[in-house]
């Protein structure tokens, strides 16, 4: 911990570093960054960008924090998250990486991206109306609580997404998947009125307040420009009791009338579910993970012979699963820890469960009948890929990730390992060969997700045409073929015999669909 000061001086960074017992502190011009010992790397990264992000957001929005911001970087949660508390101007960041099944991880690093998003919440809630300002004599918390209570959730989240995109040049505002979320939302009864509350009875992928809030602000900005958008938000904040919907009533009415003309898929083989799922196969069964509206979470399979969906096992908080050649299901799921955090546990299911003695697993897939490829995440957020051998219960590391190389997803054909990884905000496909040589198979501005190796092909989804669609990479020729067209996109794909199975977006959730593949050469070549 004491080495932090030396490290910062070597980088030419001027923040002050102090020791706070278990935590340490880096002070920049606008922000106090408090971090646990394992998070020094993330604290340094944030300290180098925090003031720039703060000043850029002030310049864009015309807003600012009225009380110094304090950021806590902690390591007790196994997934990417963060939140802001404008009552005391505190931001908490859990420095992991977002799962590509949520939105595309097109940012360079999570801590600066998350900081930009959460700082926007504080700026909004710190902009006190004239009749709220006097309450600050009783303390910042009182005025901030009153101001926050009058800001609709969709404005909070929509503005934060706008900020994350403008300030970092990444995020949901330019993500093809999030754009599809917005189109799907327009086909549901969820308007801004429903998205104004943190709790809504109707589910939207991406979150109702996030999707509809940004969708409306983006529409307003496209019509009137950024300057007018920010001016309108500031006008509302000066008199929030009037309601934001009244300030922009005409524009909301126009936005409500915009409905995308999209055909509805008729190939559904599952009901609407709340999650995007990977797809696995074994013999005539197609396995998938489903979270239903009633809260039930389980692994199911679709029987291609009887045309039935069969529940296999209930699993709460599932992270990843894979089905072996012999039908054994390897599962990783989140569990609570003794120090109020989360970790992962792994087990095998084949009629009964058997717990494996390994943790911190965020993705897994079978390589052979007794070897499981695992993507693990360390306490400091870095990741590595290795193989867990069921015969001796030993884990062997194959490749180490870093700040500049972040593995995201994995699959195997029994000999080689394929993975998606993020390098400087760009997500591509890589091959880890049998001799541990690493090869880059794609290198472009697009995002490739959900790789699935089978025979001599690699199936995946990508936004080559602005919407995520299913593709096949033939490994012998390195040619890429488009397999299907889904109006709202496809987010995982599996080819079996004459059919492909895709997890696709639908109004109110996701569905598993089956269709015949219509292979189309899009004249793309892998590296």
Segment 229-256, tens digit of pLDDT: 999 999 999 999 989 999 999 999 999 9
Q: What is the pLDDT of residues 279-330, one digit of tens each?
A: 999 999 999 999 998 889 999 999 999 999 999 999 999 999 999 999 999 9
pLDDT at 521 over 70: no
Tell me which residue of 491, 452, 477, 489 sits closest to 527, measured CA to CA.
477
Q: What is the pLDDT of residues 390-434, one digit of tens each?
A: 999 999 999 999 989 999 999 999 999 999 999 989 999 999 999
Instruction: Write down the architecture of domain 279-525 according to CATH.
Output: 8 Propeller (2.140)
Q: Which residues pair with 26 in a beta bridge?
A: 17, 33
Alpha-carbon distance of 54 to 69, in angstroms, equals 10
**3 state DSSP class of 382:** coil
> Can you give the three-state secondary structure of 94-145, one letter per residue?
ECCCCCCCCCCCCCCCHHHHHHHHHHHHHHHHCCCCCCCHHHHHHCHHHHHH
State how far Cα 287 lies from the chain centre. 23
pLDDT at 264 over 90: no
Q: What is the pLDDT of residues 2-55, one digit of tens each?
A: 333 322 323 333 344 444 558 899 999 999 999 999 899 999 999 999 999 999
Tell me which residue of 509, 463, 510, 504 sits closest to 487, measured CA to CA.
504
Residue ranges of the chain assigned to CATH 2.140.10.30: 279-525
Tell me which residue of 152, 136, 170 sits closest to 65, measured CA to CA.
136
State how far Cα 178 lies from the chain centre. 10
pTM: 0.91
Other CB atoms closer than 10 Å to residue 377's CB: what's the count? Answer: 23
For the segment 477-506, the average pLDDT, to the nearest whole number, is 91
pLDDT of 202 reads 76
Alpha-carbon distance of 142 to 343, in angstroms, equals 36
Tell me which residue of 450, 507, 493, 457 sits closest to 515, measured CA to CA.
493
Residue ranges of the chain assigned to CATH 3.30.2010.30: 1-149
Higher-confidence residue of 523 and 358: namely: 358
CATH value of 1-149 in 3.30.2010.30, 3.30.565.10, 3.30.420.40, 3.30.300.30? 3.30.2010.30
Higher-confidence residue of 270 and 171: namely: 171
């Amino acid at each position: 911990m004491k080495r932090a000061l030396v490290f910062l001086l070597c980088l030419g960074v001027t923040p002050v570093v102090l020791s706070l017992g278990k935590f340490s502190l880096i002070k920049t011009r606008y922000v106090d960054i408090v971090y646990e010992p394992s998070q020094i790397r993330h604290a340094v990264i944030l300290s180098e960008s925090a003031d720039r992000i703060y000043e850029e957001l002030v310049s864009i929005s015309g807003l600012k924090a009225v009380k110094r911001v304090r950021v806590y970087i902690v390591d007790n949660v196994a997934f990417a998250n963060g939140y802001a508390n404008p009552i005391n101007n505190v931001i908490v960041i859990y420095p992991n990486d977002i799962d590509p099944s949520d939105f595309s991880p097109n940012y360079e690093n999570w801590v600066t991206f998350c900081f930009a998003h959460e700082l926007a919440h504080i700026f909004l809630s710190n902009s006190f109306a004239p009749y709220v300002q006097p309450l600050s004599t009783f303390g910042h918390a009182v005025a901030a609580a009153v101001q926050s209570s009058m800001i609709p959730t969709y404005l909070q989240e929509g503005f934060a997404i706008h900020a994350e995109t403008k300030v970092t040049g990444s995020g949901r505002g330019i993500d093809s998947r999030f754009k599809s979320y917005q189109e799907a939302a327009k086909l549901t009864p969820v308007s801004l009125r429903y998205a104004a509350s943190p709790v809504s009875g109707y589910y939207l992928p991406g979150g109702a307040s996030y999707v509809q809030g940004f969708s409306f602000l983006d529409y307003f900005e496209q019509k009137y420009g950024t300057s007018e958008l920010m001016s309108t938000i500031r006008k509302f904040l000066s008199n929030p009791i009037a309601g934001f919907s009244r300030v922009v009533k005409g524009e909301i009415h126009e936005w409500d009338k915009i409905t995308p003309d999209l055909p509805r898929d008729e190939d559904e083989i599952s009901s609407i579910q709340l999650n995007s799922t990977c797809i696995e196969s074994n013999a005539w069964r197609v396995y998938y993970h489903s979270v239903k509206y009633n809260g039930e979470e389980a692994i199911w399979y679709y029987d291609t012979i009887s045309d039935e969906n069969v529940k296999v096992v209930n699993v709460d908080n599932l992270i990843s699963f894979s089905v072996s050649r012999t039908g054994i299901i390897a599962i990783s799921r989140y569990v609570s820890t003794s120090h109020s955090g989360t970790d992962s546990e792994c087990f095998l299911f084949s009629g009964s469960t058997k717990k494996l003695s390994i943790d911190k697993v965020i993705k897994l897939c079978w390589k052979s009948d007794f070897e499981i490829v695992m993507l693990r995440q360390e306490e400091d957020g870095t990741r590595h890929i290795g193989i867990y051998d069921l015969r001796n219960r030993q884990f062997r590391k194959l490749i180490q990730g870093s700040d500049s190389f972040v593995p995201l997803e994995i699959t195997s054909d029994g000999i080689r390992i394929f993975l998606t990884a993020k390098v400087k905000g760009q997500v591509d496909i890589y091959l880890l060969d049998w001799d541990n040589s690493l090869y880059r198979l794609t290198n472009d501005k697009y995002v490739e997700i959900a790789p699935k190796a089978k025979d001599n092909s690699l199936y995946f989804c990508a936004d080559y045409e602005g919407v995520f669609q299913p593709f096949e990479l033939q490994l012998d020729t390195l040619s890429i073929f488009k397999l299907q067209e889904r109006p709202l996109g496809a987010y995982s794909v599996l080819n079996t015999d004459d059919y492909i199975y895709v997890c696709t977006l639908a109004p109110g959730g996701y569905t598993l669909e089956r269709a015949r593949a219509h292979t189309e050469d899009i004249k793309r070549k892998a590296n």
